Amino acid sequence: MDGASFSPFSLEHVPFPALVVRDGNIVTCNSAAAELLGLNPAGGPAPDFLAGISAASGPVTGTCTAAGQSWRFSLSPQEDGLLAVLLPQDPEGSPFPGTAALLEQMRQHMNNLTAVTQLITPALQDLGPKYQQYLAIMNQSFYRMLRLMNNAETAGALAEGRLTLSAGPLDLAGLCRELCAKVSGLAEAAGVSFRFDDQRGSLLTTGDSELIQQMLLCLISNALKAAGNGGRAGLRLTETGGRAILTVWDSGSGLDDETGAKVWGAGSGLPIARQIAALHGGVLMLESRPGDGLRVTVSLPVRRPEQPPVLRTPQRAADRTGGFSQVLVELSSVLPWQSFTPDALE
């Protein structure tokens, strides 16, 4: 799948209504869009909310009403036309009022626990290997709790429209290479062979490097979990048709009909990854064959920096990791406790 052209089959992997339009007509659509909008997948006029949009040089977002429900839609140029993806819009904002305040209290309590753990670590280490294992399990729990809180915070910000891009020039190939170098050694500790395949030495674009890294780590964590001990996983980066194609794959068992229906649950982090891709004008799709692993493909538009870039990571107002390694945080659910001993964390 090259990301520049979408067949009806590939659109079926998009978990929300999706269609491709060109010159005011439908090129193709998935069954969810056909049912929601009353469309003919074989062709016909585009829906009214897309009728006045014949072309776009970059991503377009908007809102519409269909089947009595409010939807957000995003448009991104493709080889076949404009890809439109509709996402349900919650008119009441976050489904969990007060979540931000609750998460802040949880962070404060976890900071206290972390501080106390650091104070007692030297004494417990002197008691022998068994207590070092206890410390490692405790540290791993801290990382896992932080991952859950970060995901909840990001999901709430996305639901309320508060999450915005801190975009800047970046070398996407360099970001992936550096990230995968960190992942590779950790994956080995989990018994998984992980590799990065890059057909380009450099790929300059514009984006939010922190969010892109969060998206990739979410997908990589799922891939390592699916691959399991003795399995293989990896990240592949290519460029085609003015789009960067990021593919995270694994050698696991793939998805059957039952697990495929559950894969977009909150526990997988895929809804967050999909929305991060959408914020960049991109799309996220799944390709699975039972027994042959899962491939998650993210197609992002390549936006060359207007000026010769000074590549740096955009800085946010606050560090949500609290000094914890983001890679360890995102992979904490798949790594063994040995990766979290005091010596390993130094």
Q: What is the pLDDT of residues 174-228, one digit of tens each?
A: 999 999 999 999 999 999 999 999 977 889 999 999 999 999 999 999 999 999 9
What is the spatial distance between Cα 35 and Cα 33, in angstroms, rounded to a whole number?
5
Q: Count CB neighbours of 120 within 10 A.
A: 12
> 242-258: buried (b, 16+ CB within 10 Å) or exposed (e) per residue?
ebbbbbbbbbbbbbeee
Q: How many CB atoms lie within 10 A of CB 56?
A: 12
Angle (deg, nearest 10), helices 270-279 and 129-159: 50
Average pLDDT of the residues in 138-161:
83
Packed helices 270-279 and 209-227: angle between N→C axes, nearest 10 degrees = 150
CA dist 239 to 192, 194, 247, 299, Å? 27, 21, 11, 9
Q: Which range, 59-73, 93-107, 212-226, 303-317, is most confident?
A: 212-226
- Helix then strand then coil, in percent of the chain rounded to 5, is 40, 25, 35
> Of all residues in the chain, what percent carry a pLDDT higher than 90?
27
Output the pLDDT for position 322.
54
Instruction: Quote the tokens at residue 218.
Output: 């979410």
Q: Does residue 28 sit in helix, strand or coil?
A: strand
pLDDT for 153 equals 81
Q: Which residues, including other chains, have CB under 8 Å from residue 199's CB and lie 6 or more apart? A: 237, 238, 239
Of the pLDDT bands very low, low, confident and very high (cuts 50, 70, 90), residue 3 is: very low
3-state secondary structure of 111: helix
Helix pair angle (99-125, 129-159), 10° resolution: 170
Per-residue pLDDT, 98 = 60
Give how far the C-alpha of residue 229 lies from the chain's centroid of Cα atoms, to the nearest Å. Answer: 23
Q: CA–CA separation, 231 vs 224, rounded Å?
A: 8
